[in-house]
Amino acid sequence: MIINNNLIKYTMGINCALCVEGRVLKADFQGDPIIKTGSLSKIIKIQSHIRKYLLIKSLQKQNPQNLKLKKKNSNKQSYQIIEKTSINQKQLEQLFLTYPPLNDNIKLQFISISYPNIAEYSGEWNPILKEKHGRGIQLWFDKKIYIGQWKNNKMNGKGKLIEPSGDLYEGEFLNDKIEGYGSYYNKKGTSYIGTWKNNLQDGKGKEIWFDKTEYEGEFKEGKKWGKGKLILNEGSFYDGDFYDNQIHGKGKFLWSDGKEYNGEFKNNKMDGEGEFKWEDGKIYKGHYFRDEKNGYGEFFWPNGKVYKGYWKNGKQNGDGELFEPDNKIWKKGFWCNGKRVKWDIIK
């Protein structure tokens, strides 16, 4: 429905001077259940920021070459070759069984080294460039560990990163960044499986939170962006458009008690043209503004009664027509704040 001047007028407000005239009747329609935007916004926003913070915090510490250099005129952190390491034989065996060689025709050697007060590394090594290359394990002194493939002294290819807290990422890396396809889990039960870019969710994936709320769909720069489906733990779900981590665009929201809205959303609220159905058969078709009926809309009761007219703040407000099935007649009238205050014409 294209917004016209009349619709804008009734949406923005109506002079209710006529409320003191005529016989005031009690309204006979149902209000709209509000999407719980407080908790919903928290679910949508907070979890992405927390995960982004944890991953970036981890990756900023990954490689010693990112810290202040001890060697002058060198782009690599100083290291020492060691005979004993905290990385055990079982971990190394699992490394070589799990991850294939790079097969880039570079002659490698096995080495164990220590970056003093930072980390230990055991694995394949490029002796000419003196850098990690191939398959290896790095164990930081804070007990964080990376197991997987390396290239040019950086995490590249497939690998597994485990935090001291128990948080785990397993999947693809590119130049020390999470990029490609991978899985993230934490000990509280939150998980994400899907594609990543520059340490952020990007592409398609599925999130499951510790309370069993789920989102599956598209992401952009760590945010829900595009088509997706959100299933809340109490049974309600939304299927439709997301924009900048908000329910925004066209979609369908189904409440656990059977209520259903199909239409337009803005910033997690019903906003624009849509159709709302109640579990008892009542239907509203028309315009919404911030979760409430506003502008022109039509309300249908199961017994055949129909209201066609204007609304404000979820209530009948302004000119309207009411069809009464018992008399099979249409009545024109004026409503204010949900109550009819005047009949104009009977047709």
pLDDT at residue 62 is higher than 60: no
Give the per-residue pLDDT at 53: 44
Is residue 73 pLDDT above 70, yes or no? no
Task: Decide which of 162 and 26 is more confident.
Answer: 162
Q: What is the reported pLDDT for 15?
A: 28
> Residue 286's pLDDT is what?
98
Question: Percent of the chain at pLDDT above 70?
Answer: 77
pLDDT grade, residue 69 (50/70/90)? very low
325, 7 Cβ separation under 8 angstroms: no
Which residue has tokens 């810290």? Answer: 67
Closest by CA to 335, choosing from 313, 311, 303, is: 311
Task: Name the more confident of 263 and 21.
Answer: 263
Asked if pLDDT for residue 246 goes beyond 80, the answer is yes
- Residue 58 confidence (pLDDT): 54
Could you give the CA distance from residue 298 to residue 306 in angstroms, rounded to a whole number?
7
- Could you give the dihedral angle defined by the CA atoms of residues 262, 267, 273 and 276, in that order, rounded to the nearest 10 degrees? 40
Q: How far apart are CA 144 and CA 161, in angstroms?
A: 8
CA 316 to chain centre: 35
Q: Phi, psi at residue 100, to the nearest 5°? A: -80, 160
Tokens found for residue 132: 């990690």
pLDDT number for residue 234: 93
For residue range 255-301, what is the model confidence (pLDDT) as tens digits?
A: 999 999 999 999 999 999 999 999 999 999 999 999 999 999 999 99
What is the average per-residue pLDDT within 228-257? 97
Say if strands 177-185 and 168-174 run parallel, antiparallel, or are unpaired.
Answer: antiparallel
What confidence category does residue 149 fall into, taking pLDDT thresholds of 50, 70 and 90?
very high
298: burial class by Cβ within 10 Å (0-12, 13-18, 19+)?
middle
| Confidence class for position 44, pLDDT limits 50, 70, 90 | low
Question: What's the rounded mean pLDDT across residues 11-25?
Answer: 28
Predicted confidence band at 51 (pLDDT cuts at 50, 70, 90)?
A: low
Identify whether the C-beta of residue 131 lies closer than 8 Å to the C-beta of residue 140. Answer: no
Topology, domain 1-33+255-347: 2.20.110
Does residue 37 have a pLDDT over 60?
A: no
Give the amino acid at 22.
Answer: G
Output the DSSP codes for 140-187: ETTS-EEEEEEETTEEEEEEEEE-TTS-EEEEEEETTEEEEEEEEE-T
How many Å is the Cα radius of gyration of the chain? 31
**Residues 292-344 pLDDT 10s:** 999 999 999 999 999 999 999 999 999 999 999 998 889 999 999 989 998 87
Contact 347, 330 (CB under 8 A): yes
- What H or E segment, with its residue span, contains residue 250? strand 246-254
Q: Give the least confident one: 65-69, 96-100, 146-150, 167-171.
A: 65-69
Average pLDDT over residues 183-188: 94
* Per-residue model confidence as pLDDT tens digits over 94-127: 999 999 999 999 999 999 999 999 999 999 999 9
d(C-alpha 108, C-alpha 129), whole Å? 11
Confirm if 170 and 157 have CB atoms less than 8 A apart.
no
The yes-or-no verdict on residue 81 having pLDDT over 90 is yes
pTM for the full model?
0.78
- Looking at residue 76, its pLDDT comes to 65
- CA dist 109 and 147 (Å) reads 17
The CA-based diameter of the chain, rounded to the nearest angstrom, is 99
Could you give the CA distance from residue 261 to residue 278 in angstroms, rounded to a whole number? Answer: 9
* pLDDT attached to residue 343: 84
Is the pLDDT assigned to residue 61 strictly greater than 80?
Answer: no
- CA–CA distance, 277 with 216 (Å, rounded to integer): 25
In angstroms, the CA 37 to CA 293 distance is: 17
pLDDT at 45 over 60: no
Of 178 and 46, more confident: 178
Tokens of 89: 């034989």
The reported pLDDT for the residue numbered 347 is: 59
What is the chain's mean pLDDT, rounded? 83
Asked if residue 39 has pLDDT above 80, the reply is no
- Return the higher-pLDDT residue of 48 and 46: 48
Examine the pLDDT at 213 and tell me if it is beyond 90.
yes
